[in-house]
Amino acid sequence: MIYNLCNLVDDSNLDNFYKILICEASQLPPFNDLTSKAEVLGIMNSLPEEFQAMVIPFIREKHSLSSSPNSNNGNINWRHSISFPLVPQDEAIQDLLETFHNKQVVAFLVRVTHSHLYGTQQQPLLFSYSELHAANKTGLKGFSLSLQGETYGKAFYFAGNEAEFPVINRGLAFQLAGSL
């Protein structure tokens, strides 16, 4: 069968990720790439308030995401890599990041039209961070966050707008120790 495909440019495919929810995988109920999307979404949307998670808005055009299949001895794994800056550089923010450093997490990335979940409870991503310094006055100063890992399946794709993902809108505002 021959498929005639074309690149249609409209608002839905120009949409960009603008927010990420990062949560510790160890606190989630067991799920993997074979778990149904409805069940995974139910798990994510029913996280209790005391759950250890961070919701971080992206700085426009300053994040990087790659997710690609990798064949190894006849098996296909998906390699995921997410990186982005978090500003400002603040001791309270660094203390929070330290609680996630070198821990296994899942990442829920949000667009206007849909969201993706990278990593699973059984195959999470590894969270790390480093300080971000700039040589000039106008450069970003803060932290560079990185999430990387491999899963058996591709990311979970959830159609719908942010209102359909209540987990992304919960949580308390993080109080900075210093002034901006």
| Per-residue pLDDT tens digits for 76-123 | 999 999 999 999 988 999 999 999 999 999 999 988 888 899 999 999
Is 4 a domain residue?
A: no
Is 149 a domain residue?
A: yes
Is 114 a domain residue?
A: yes
Query: Tell me: the pLDDT tens digits for 149-166?
Result: 999 999 999 887 666 666
- Cα first-last separation, the chain: 59
> Which residues span the domain enclosing 45?
14-169
Q: Tell whether the torsion through CA atoms of 49, 86, 103 and 131 is positive or negative.
A: negative
Is 77 a domain residue?
A: yes
CA–CA distance, 24 with 118 (Å, rounded to integer): 12
Is 179 a domain residue?
A: no
Q: How many domains does the chain fold into? A: 1
**pTM of the full structure:** 0.85
- Torsion-angle region of residue 102: left (phi > 0), alpha (psi -120 to 50) or beta? left
